Amino acid sequence: MSGYAIGVDVGGTFTDIVCVAEDGAETLAKAPTTPADQSEGVLDGLAVLAERLGLPLPVLLARTGRIVHGTTVATNALLEKRLARAAMLTTEGHRDVIEMREGTKPDRYNLRSTPPAPIIPRARRLPVRERIGADGAVRLPLDAASLADAIAALGDAEAVAICFLHAWANPAHERAAAEAVRAARPEAFVTLSSEVLPQIKEFERFSTTAVNAAVGPLVARYLRRLAARLERAGYGGPLFVILSHGGVAPVEDAARLAVGTALSGPAGGVAAAVALARGGAGEDLVTFDMGGTSSDIALIQRGEAALSHGREVGGERIALESLDISTLGAGGGSIAHLDAAGRLAVGPRSAGADPGPVAYGRGGTEPTVTDANLVLGLLDPERFLGGRRRLDREAARAAFAALGARLGLSAEQAAAGVQRLVDAKMADGIRLATVRRGVDPRGAALLAFGGAAGLHASAVARDLGMRRVLVPLFAAGLSAWGMLRTDLRFEVSRSLPAGMPDEAALRAVFAALAEAAAARMAAWHHGPLSLLRSADLRYGEQVYDVRVPLDGVTWDEPGLPARIEAAFHARHEALFGWSRAGEEVVMVNARVAAVGRLPEARAAPPPPAPDAAPVARRRILLDGAWHEVAVFDFAALAPGQRVAGPAIVESDTTTVLLRHGDAARMDAARLLDIAIG
């Protein structure tokens, strides 16, 4: 790595910037997120970083070798339904695939529930006369007049999804239609299902492509704007975007496959967890990323992150491979209120970055989790963001006094109630995310990061019976830090719906996919490359398939189909507790991912330092009573330093609460390793 490497994570409240210098020195900077145009907050954060490094911003950017960025533009657009005006060209007679979904409702046991409105309304789903069979043969040629009529009916659509039946088997008609659309509407964002998701299952393919059309123009405009701002500020290096599967892609490819950024930001935190697990933190971790508006939970087993190849974001089906991350609508900015039954509740509404919690003094009037922690004495109002923003404790207390009066509680009692509710909500979310996969969380360590997690991690771990919590020094910027430990990744796949291919066919399919993936990666990357093989398999009568990694399978000996089947049985047993060794196994999709290794931004080992002493004492409300506890400077803790609870460990960007019985030790990797009492 030459010069600096910079990771940028745009959150709901703050934009986090982590910079790693050539000598391994790490610097964290934060700036408020600017929801109207996230690129403004990114440049604000870079300016703060330059100031902390003592450099003019143009000099910093000129010395930067790469920037890796996580964005929430696509996620926010889907959640808020602020989408581009999209249209769809589809095979005549199949315009309602995305409305019929898979014949199910989100709540299939509630007969009164209604499916969500399609992301592209029926009036803009335009039929085209053509037909390709499942074998790739042309059954009905693409009708030029029908295509012309559909293009003429596009109206003011700024994006066009082209989704033809069986285009995964033969994309010729989709490509011809795309050429015609681009000729007639050169300004339109055009996306093909055969490029977004070239595999069977029409609803998943059509839905994923429709989502790409709906968010594509927004993501492309944002990334162009960001790249232009960076260039004007003095940056001339590559800009990468982290995708939902945890790998990164050049900005041009991320704009083309915008749907792949739907979990961009949280993916950085999981990448960081994998790096820490492999670096000695422990092979089994549960990540607990609590930010301003939400909390993200993922599972690391044996040093690897769990992957999913289908999820919903904002009610829309996205069938691309992604990290298996569960998101809860609760964070530091989550608003405390009374529900319809008059009970105390927290979230899912959030004060976000603007106006933010009441204590920010920017117009917020509804109390939040951050306000509760301030009222309880857990936050230092003078040190927030390194003193760049003073928190108004009296305003926060007044907001909780008003809420508490409606419940017959004091301000402090109401704030303590909010804290307990949030802790219970987080524990339930982690329990669901782990136990549903057959994993007992008590056997893992809780990796707590994000600006707010340190105040809640001990209570959450206790609720779950977990005995160990890890909090990184850079907890508030760990997602940005993790982005600098990712690699380029490009995956190709082929559907094989006929069953399990014979040995020769298997070798031919995977060899062709490996060649295609390597060729695609060659356009991005000229360094070390690895190819990862996997397949989606199922038993003959199953309606779902299972992703099975195949790199542990021996490929250079006879009997390859039997070894792949054995790997599937073992994976099925691990996931569901049963397998059927004698039953037919069907390979649905073959996959090869090309992974291009980027230079790793390595942190310098911490310098030796004497044991740190408390820097202050603070009065906090804990477990229903007031206590005066020692406050330690997180950054000043030397490796091997021990802190016993109750105590506060804080930095400019995060605060950790040690409860009664907790025993913390700072390790050499700058992780606060907490044994839960």
Least confident of 257-266, 384-393, 622-631: 384-393
Give Cα 518 to chain centroid, integer Å.
26
Question: Rounded CA gap, 409 and 396, in Å?
Answer: 15
pLDDT at 1: 46
**Cβ contacts of residue 654 below 8 Å, gap of 6+?**
451, 453, 454, 471, 475, 476, 634
Is the CB of residue 192 less than 8 Å from the CB of residue 162? yes
Alpha-carbon distance values, 472 to 61, 539, 664 (Å): 27, 43, 12
pLDDT in tens, 5-46: 999 998 777 899 999 888 888 898 988 888 888 999 999 999
Alpha-carbon distance values, 52 to 41, 48, 181, 386, 522 (Å): 16, 6, 49, 11, 37
Q: Is the dihedral of CA 447, 452, 454, 455 positive or negative?
A: negative
Mean pLDDT taken over the chain: 89
Q: 640: left (phi > 0), else alpha (psi -120 to 50), else beta?
A: left
pLDDT at 158: 96
Give Cα 245 to chain centroid, integer Å.
8
DSSP H helical ranges for 197-344? 202-233, 251-256, 264-276
> What string of H, E and C letters represents the secondary structure of 169-225?
CCCHHHHHHHHHHHHHCCCCEEEEHHHHCCCCCHHHHHHHHHHHHHHHHHHHHHHHH
DSSP string, 401-443: HHHHHTTT--HHHHHHHHHHHHHHHHHHHHHHHHHTTT--GGG
pLDDT in tens, 617-629: 999 999 889 999 9
Is the CB of residue 64 less than 8 Å from the CB of residue 57? no
Strands 334-338 and 344-350: antiparallel
Is the CB of residue 392 less than 8 Å from the CB of residue 367? no
With 90 as the cut, is the pLDDT of residue 88 above it?
Answer: yes
Expressed in percent and rounded to 5, the helix, strand and coil fractions of the chain are: 35, 25, 40
Least confident of 433-447, 604-618, 645-659: 604-618
Residue 81, φ and ψ in degrees, nearest 5 = 60, 35
Least confident of 129-143, 271-285, 578-592: 271-285
pLDDT at 43: 95
Q: How confident is the model at residue 608 (pLDDT cuts 50, 70, 90)?
A: low
Least confident of 308-317, 389-398, 405-414: 308-317
Question: Rounded CA gap, 515 and 520, in Å?
Answer: 9
Task: Kindly state the average pLDDT of the residues 269-297.
Answer: 86
Of 459, 458, 456, residue with least CA distance to 674: 458
pLDDT in tens, 322-349: 888 887 777 888 899 998 889 999 888 8
More confidently predicted of 433 and 386 = 433
With 80 as the cut, is the pLDDT of residue 208 above it?
Answer: yes
pLDDT at 81: 85
Residue 616, φ and ψ in degrees, nearest 5 = -170, 175
With 80 as the cut, is the pLDDT of residue 137 above it?
Answer: yes
Omega before residue 501 within 30° of 0, cis: no
Q: How confident is the model at residue 663 (pLDDT cuts 50, 70, 90)?
A: very high
pLDDT at 77: 86
Question: Rounded CA gap, 122 and 114, in Å?
Answer: 17
Tell me how crowded residue 280 is: count the other CB atoms within 10 A of its CB.
11
Q: How confident is the model at residue 581 (pLDDT cuts 50, 70, 90)?
A: confident
With 70 as the cut, is the pLDDT of residue 601 above it?
Answer: no
Provide the percentage of residues in the chain whose pLDDT is more than 90.
52
More confidently predicted of 280 and 431 = 431
Least confident of 158-167, 182-191, 565-574: 565-574
Hey, which bits of 574-615 come out as E strands? Answer: 585-596
Least confident of 176-185, 418-427, 521-530, 596-605: 596-605
pLDDT at 606: 55
| Burial (CB count <10 Å: 0-12, 13-18, 19+), residue 397 | buried
Tell me how crowded residue 164 is: count the other CB atoms within 10 A of its CB.
29
With 50 as the cut, is the pLDDT of residue 350 above it?
Answer: yes
Is the CB of residue 487 less than 8 Å from the CB of residue 529? no
**Cβ contacts of residue 392 below 8 Å, gap of 6+?**
358, 359, 360, 361, 381
Helix (H) or strand (E) holding 470: strand 468-472
pLDDT at 648: 96
Instruction: Read off the tokens for 230.
Output: 């960076």
Provide the percentage of residues in the chain whose pLDDT is more than 70.
96
